[in-house]
Amino acid sequence: MTAPEPHRFVAHVVDESPNKIHEDDVARRYGFSGALVPGVELFARTTTPLVAAWGADWLSRGRIDLRFRRPTYDGDELLVELEDGGLTVSAPSGEVRCVGSADPEADRPDLSGYRPVPAPSELVADPVVGPLGGVREAGTVERNEWYLAAIGEPLDLYREEALAHPGLLLRLVNELLMQNVALGPWIHTSSDCRFLGLARLPAELTAHGRVTAVGRRGRHDEVRYDALVLAGDQPVLQVHHTALYRLDSA
């Protein structure tokens, strides 16, 4: 099997977000130099060399675990490398921004614990262990094309086969949190993903989830939750997701 080659890309904040940590003035109030590039967009471009090497098969049965260790800012150049299954995403200075692992194939996870739950009538201040209200959106070729252009995805596979980009699918996992919890600025810190099938477009995209833990990381409030994304009735992505949902600016 072909080994993924090192891959360089430029990170970008691709659009306006309700999460104000992706705006310069707000991010600076929390001690950052400027607007943070969303973790989901770093994840999206980290997958590029993996898909280049392993193809659509990886998008139907592979895995990637990515943890965001250092802030990344709009316009930063990054290098993705995979060695002996270990992933690093680093700056030209050598500073490691993301760490993780990836494999061309993984065992299929247990999907029995996911069930449709109605969207909440109002957002809660703090998540609690248990199910999250589901989210759905129309998965269109046009939106996928927009996303591919916005992140600078060089691979033609997504366009030629009308496949939803994994970053677009992971955005729906973020939406689970945003559509259930009243959030201020927040930070996505990790995603451990199993791909379960190809998300061919157009298709209705749906995400179900459940909170598994709520606690503290340093000064910040942290939530861990699992999510399952479907394209139509086909499971395509299962994720263990972690976020700092309330930040302390002190």
Domains of the chain, first to last: 7-246 (3.10.129.10)
> At which residue do the structure tokens 């589901």 appear?
134
d(CA 233, CA 204): 9
**Residue-level pLDDT at 231:** 98
> Average pLDDT in the 81-89 region?
97
pLDDT at 250: 64
Among positive and negative, which fits the CA dihedral 139, 227, 114, 123?
negative
User: Given a cut of 70, is residue 110 above it in pLDDT?
Assistant: yes
pLDDT at 92 > cutoff 70: yes
* Per-residue model confidence (pLDDT) at position 16: 77
Which residues partner with 223 through β-bridges?
A: 214, 243
In the chain, the DSSP E strands lie at 7-10, 63-68, 77-83, 86-90, 96-103, 130-139, 187-195, 203-217, 220-231, 234-246
DSSP string, 180-212: TB--SS-EEEEEEEEE-S--BSSEEEEEEEEEE
Q: What's the predicted TM-score (pTM) here?
A: 0.97
| Share in percent of the chain as helix, strand, coil (round to 5) | 25, 40, 40
